[in-house]
Amino acid sequence: MTVKITTPLTSEKARTLKAGDTVEITGVIYTSRDAAHKRFIEALDRGEKLPADFKDAVIYFAGPSPAKPGQPIGSVGPTTSYRMDPYSPRMIREAGLTGMIGKGRRSAEVVEAMKECGAVYFGAIGGCAALLAKCVKKAEVIAYDDLGAEALRRLEVEDLPVTVVIDSEGNDLYRLGREQYLESLK
């Protein structure tokens, strides 16, 4: 069964999602990756305001390819999330982030912050960037334009297909899915 959610994503709503759930996200989400995250943390260190309000927000770890004329965005699939592990706990605790979309494993520190604050980690299918781009209705750079593909973007998405990989209780589909498959062979 597919759960449909509309952003903003409150921690109450995030806590109802379970590892393995397929979810379609509609509403505003943000794309940012390595370089923008570094700047978020530098801004937090200086006590400055972040360039967007991430309270109850979802960040998609992605750097799109350039949009062709007439298209809102180029291809836009997830990038590997562990590179954001040094930054995500503070984005969750201090900026109020409740959702992350990416691919690949997360650190124990990230999962700890997710459990503490009620956040969820979604996986989008890595390499399915042309398909995922079809869900993006509007995209604009809202900060760090100098970073090119790595700039902070505000996206309006419709039914973006993702899977809950790690839920707010720390259940991990990478472990559970593999166990279930190996069990099915017995």
Partner 1 sequence: MREISARQITETVRRLCMEACYYLPDDVKKRIEECRREEPFPIACGILDKIIENYRIAGENSVPICQDTGMACVFLEIGQDVHINGDIEEAVNAGVASGYKDGYLRKSVVSDPIERVNSGDNTPAMIYYELVPGDRLTITVAPKGFGSENMSQLKMLKPADGIEGVKDFVLKVAEDAGPNPCPPIIMGVGIGGTFDKAALMAKKALLRPLDEKNPDSFYAQLEDELLEKVNALGIGPQGFGGRTFCLKVNINHMATHIAGLPVAVNINCHVARHKTEVL
In terms of CB distance, is 43 or 125 closer to partner 1?
125
Q: How far apart are CA 120 and CA 164, in angstroms?
A: 7
Residues 101-130 that bind partner 1 (CB under 8 A): 103-105, 123, 125-130
∠ CA(125), CA(126), CA(132), 5° rounding? Answer: 60
- Contact letters (x/-) for partner 1, 53-72, by CB under 8 A? ---------xxxxxxx----
Q: What is the dihedral of CA 71, 77, 81, 84, to 10 degrees?
A: -10
How many whole angstroms separate alpha carbon 124 and alpha carbon 31? Answer: 13
Residue pair 168/115 in contact (Cβ under 8 Å)? The answer is yes
According to the binding rule CB under 8 A, does residue 88 interact with partner 1? no
- Nearest in space to 121 (alpha carbons), one of 141, 91, 152: 91
Phi, psi of 176 (to 5 degrees): -65, -45
Q: Is 186 in the site for partner 1 (CB under 8 A)?
A: no
When binding is defined by CB under 8 A, the residue of 51, 74, 86, 96 that contacts partner 1 is 74
Q: Is 11 a catalytic residue?
A: no
Q: Among residues 13, 33, 37, 106, which one is catalytic?
A: 37
Which residues belong to the active site?
Answer: 37
Tell me which residues touch partner 1 (CB under 8 A). Answer: 35, 62-68, 74-77, 79-80, 82, 103-105, 123, 125-131, 133-134, 147-150, 161, 163, 173-174, 176-182, 184-185
